[in-house]
DNA sequence: ACATTTTGTTGTTTATAACAACAATTGCCA
DNA sequence: TGGCAATTGTTGTTATAAACAACAAAATGT
């Protein structure tokens, strides 16, 4: 039936000369739990990135469970700490989080008294975001746990590989 | 808080001893829309990966909009194509998708007659998953568009960088 | 002065992750 | 062999998240 040639043609420059690669029908054990062939996917950056992101976020959430901080909350606290007084709009732009979603995130952090929305002196539409003293203290502990998480990552991928990844992925953070 | 000297501490007290360049105080326009300082985040692999994943998925969805296929659907079709007859359970394990979620994904693909759930010969509990002829034809076109998407990626990160990323991220795909 | 834009907010829709419970079936084992 | 535990697909719930749309208040442009 489906006769489209197996696997991607990896683009123009070079026709991959790969042929004869039947997908391993695991005829053996009747136990179908043999791992399936994922060749078609592991050539896709999106697939690998997705798997990596899930792994990383799970570890982050687990590692910071004691302080009950999730990745998005961490990014908000960190950016407010580094840019006290910024508005929700600029925070939204900086993190690529929608204005609407940020409202809910800040509501949660404000309810825990980690963050304050103060009236902006220059623009009465906007709020100036600040960490409270309590938020600052909490963030110190939170950052320590985040470093612990980063340590787990280094163990998983290797220290130098982690740094290479940081370098290679930086292009996505800007645009 | 423990050591971490290689990643900046950057907590609430103000010092920032090492930073000679303050985050671009927008001396010019007075408009606070200048980009915020993200130093504390760009040292976190999780943050960069998240941004990268969002960018990549958006491009994937946009590029494959004409065939109305999302990343998860693409992965399902690809793995069924490479492993005809596999069960939902092994597909679930291979992709790291929950059994429950896979049901819904397959419902959608079966409604479009891309996929068939056939009764398994050996185990009446499970289904043998197959692409239909229609599904196979569709997948050929789908894969062509997926390659186009991958081309966008290569343009964004560079061809060699993309391959490095594939290699570095492979560790997450297994465990 | 008026029209337009920006900012924060509320709401809806859709996709996804993580669980729990269930019926049908299979495998285990005493 | 008969009964019990595990597996498989399914349904359902809860929580998070992205993407929009619409709105009022305030700012901006002309």
Q: What is the DSSP letter of A134?
A: H
For residues B19 and B23, give the distance between their C-alpha atoms in angstroms, rounded to a whole number.
9
Report chain A residues whose CB lies below 8 A from the CB of B56: 45-46, 49, 172
How does pLDDT run across A103-156, given as a tens digit for each residue?
999 999 999 999 999 999 999 999 999 999 999 999 999 999 999 999 999 999
Q: Which of A33, A40, A143 sits opposite B11 (nearest CB)?
A: A143
Do the Cβ atoms of B91 and A36 come within 8 Å?
yes
Which one of A38, A98, A136 would you mutate to disrupt binding with B, by most B Cβ within 10 Å of its Cβ?
A38
Give the helix/strand (H/E) hosting A149. helix A133-157
How does pLDDT run across B90-124, given as a tens digit for each residue?
999 999 999 999 999 999 999 999 999 999 999 99
Please tell me which residue of chain B has the smallest CA distance to A41: B75
How does pLDDT run across A77-92, given as a tens digit for each residue?
999 999 999 999 999 9
Report chain A residues whose CB lies below 8 A from the CB of B118: none
For residues B82 and A40, give the distance between their C-alpha atoms in angstroms, rounded to a whole number.
8
Q: By three-state DSSP, how is residue A128 classified?
A: strand
Longest dimension (CA), chain B: 73
3-state SS string for chain B: CCCCCCCCCCCCCCCCCCCCCCCCCCCCCCCCCCCCCCHHHHCCHHHHHHHHHHHHHHHHHHHCHHHCCCHHHHHHHHHHHHCCCCCHHHHHHHHCCCHHHHHHHHHHHHHCCCEEEEECCCCCCCEEEEECHHHHHHHHHHHHHHHHHHHHHHHHHCHHHHHHHHHHHHHHHHC
Q: What is the pLDDT of residue A128?
A: 97
Q: Which of B69, B161, B133, B124 is nearest to A171 (CA)?
A: B161
Backbone angles phi, psi at B33, to 5 degrees: -80, 5
Give the helix/strand (H/E) hosting A24. none
Q: Which positions of chain B have pLDDT values less than 70?
A: 1-34, 175
Strand C contacts in A 80-109 (CB under 7 A): 87-89, 92, 99-100, 102-104, 106-107
Backbone angles phi, psi at B44, to 5 degrees: -105, 120
Tell me what the mean pLDDT of segment A25-32 comes to.
Answer: 35
**Percentage of residues in chain A with pLDDT exceeding 70?**
80
The answer, yes or no, to whether residue A96 has pLDDT greater than 70, is yes
B8 at the A interface (CB within 8 A)?
no
Q: By three-state DSSP, how is residue A11 classified?
A: coil
Report chain B residues whose CB lies below 8 A from the CB of A47: 71, 75, 173
- Give the total residue count for chain A: 175
């Amino acid at each position: 039936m489906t006769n489209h040639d197996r696997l991607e043609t990896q683009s123009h420059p070079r026709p991959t000369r790969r042929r004869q690669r039947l997908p391993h029908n695991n005829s053996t054990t009747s136990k179908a739990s043999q791992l399936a062939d994922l060749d078609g996917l592991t050539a896709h950056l999106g697939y690998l990135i997705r798997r990596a992101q899930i792994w990383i976020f799970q570890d982050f959430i687990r590692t910071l469970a004691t302080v009950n901080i999730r990745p998005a909350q961490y990014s908000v606290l960190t950016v407010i700490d580094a840019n006290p007084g910024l508005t929700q709009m600029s925070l939204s732009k900086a993190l690529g989080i929608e204005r609407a979603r940020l409202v809910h995130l800040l509501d949660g952090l404000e309810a825990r008294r980690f963050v304050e929305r103060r009236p902006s002196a220059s623009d009465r539409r906007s709020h100036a975001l600040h960490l409270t003293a309590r938020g600052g203290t909490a963030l110190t502990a939170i950052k320590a746990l985040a470093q612990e998480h980063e340590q787990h990552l280094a163990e998983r991928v290797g220290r130098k590989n982690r740094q290479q990844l940081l370098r290679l992925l930086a292009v996505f953070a800007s645009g």
